[in-house]
């Protein structure tokens, strides 16, 4: 009998030991998961000299989104007129973005009819969203020698006409910024109009003059958005003119896969910061496509989710306002016959407004 009782006690002790080890293992796993989600950037990515003050956040937020509401069959003016989203479609989008993922700051790219509708919708429906307003600049220089999709020079007559159109766009941007001053928190003059590889190039000195014109006409801060590489290599004079520097970061366009995405992005930012010290920064585009024939397996919803979580967590910790590119897929972009082209698939939602993994 005593031997039986001893065996029972031993078995009970073994059972308690197994239970204790199991609970200890589960606790360790849970802590590890929390650490990987919360501080993925803290121990593996450099932060020295990068963190900004809270007051450097645009409109007081770090998480923002690039918004263009064009749905299937809609597009901006490509020579034969624009097909814009309706008032109700814009309202549906903005309510989805503000009430779902909680975006309170959006970036729009021009001061045309579509952007005016966006501002009207926000004001008339009291939607809790602020706006970085864009002033789109058309080509004033022919960039045919370095832009891969320009096969011949842009005619001088067209360039001269573009200068007049740019003046009208600037005047409209100033008008909208003043009319909607409670909604528009900043104005961006030109988007990737300085890089050699784009088709709407404008001289740096010209853009500086445009920036000064807008600054003298509105109360909000004024900036220029361009690729991080341009800012690092050529941005000194323009950085001195703008109220803050707006830069774009896209590791996937530079051949990086998700395992290098964050470290490469931080290195890009560090390079600009090093060459433009004592400057306030906003990241006006950063993203990862869910589908891209150009990138193969480097593009996926899973990788988009990972990069979004890592990048937006890091920029929040660094007090850097970041406009994720972009809210919705836009199937009018890129080559018409390539439905899998990267330009069409950067959204957090599909063109039909269905959430991707990152929004589930």
Answer whether residue 2 shows pLDDT above 60: no
Asked if pLDDT for residue 41 goes beyond 90, the answer is: no
288, 261 in Cβ contact below 8 A? yes
Identify the DSSP state of 328. B
CB 271 within 8 A of CB 228: yes
Q: pLDDT tens digits for 107-140?
A: 999 999 999 999 999 999 999 999 999 999 999 9
Q: What is the largest CA-CA distance in the chain?
A: 108
* Model confidence at 47: pLDDT above 80: no
pLDDT of the residue at 44:
52
Exposure of 219 in the CB half-sphere (CA atoms within 13 A): 8
3-state secondary structure of 321: coil
pLDDT digits (tens, 9 = 90+) for 224-240: 999 999 999 999 999 99
Tens digits of per-residue pLDDT, 289-298?
Answer: 999 999 999 9
Q: Look up residue 355 and give its DSSP letter.
A: B
Share of the chain above pLDDT 90, in %: 84
pLDDT reported for residue 14:
46
Tell me what pLDDT residue 46 has. 63
- Whether 33 shows a pLDDT value over 90: the answer reads no
pTM for the full model? 0.88
């Amino acid at each position: 009998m005593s031997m039986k009782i001893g065996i029972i006690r031993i078995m009970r002790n073994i059972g308690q030991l197994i239970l204790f080890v199991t609970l200890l293992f589960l606790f360790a796993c849970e802590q590890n998961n929390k650490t990987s989600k919360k501080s993925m950037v803290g121990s593996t990515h450099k932060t020295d000299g990068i963190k900004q003050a809270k007051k450097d956040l645009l409109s007081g937020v770090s998480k923002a989104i690039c918004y263009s509401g064009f749905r299937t069959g809609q597009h901006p003016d490509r020579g034969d007129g624009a097909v814009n989203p309706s008032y109700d479609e814009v309202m549906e989008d903005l309510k989805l973005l503000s009430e779902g993922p909680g975006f309170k700051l959006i970036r729009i790219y021009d001061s045309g009819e579509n952007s005016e509708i966006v501002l009207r919708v926000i004001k008339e429906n009291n939607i809790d969203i602020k706006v970085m307003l864009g002033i789109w600049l058309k080509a004033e220089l022919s960039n045919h020698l370095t832009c891969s999709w320009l096969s011949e020079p842009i005619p001088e007559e067209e360039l001269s006409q573009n200068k007049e159109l740019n003046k009208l766009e600037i005047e409209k941007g100033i008008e909208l910024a003043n009319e909607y001053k409670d909604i528009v928190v900043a104005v961006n003059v030109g988007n990737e109009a300085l890089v050699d590889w784009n088709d709407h190039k404008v001289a740096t000195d010209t853009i500086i003059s445009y920036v000064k014109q807008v600054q003298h006409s509105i109360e909000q801060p004024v900036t220029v958005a361009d690729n991080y590489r341009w800012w690092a290599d050529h941005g000194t004079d323009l950085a001195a003119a703008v109220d803050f520097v707006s830069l774009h970061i896209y590791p996937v366009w530079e051949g990086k896969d998700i395992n290098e995405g964050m470290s490469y992005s931080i290195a890009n930012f560090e390079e600009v910061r090093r060459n433009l010290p004592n400057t306030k920064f906003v990241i006006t585009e950063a993203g990862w496509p869910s589908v891209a024939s150009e990138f193969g397996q480097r593009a996926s919803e899973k990788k988009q989710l990972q990069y979004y979580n890592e990048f937006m967590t890091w920029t929040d910790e660094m007090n850097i306002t970041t406009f994720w590119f972009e809210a919705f897929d836009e199937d009018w972009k890129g080559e018409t016959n390539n439905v899998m082209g990267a330009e069409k698939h950067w959204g957090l939602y599909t063109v039909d407004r269905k959430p991707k993994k990152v929004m589930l």
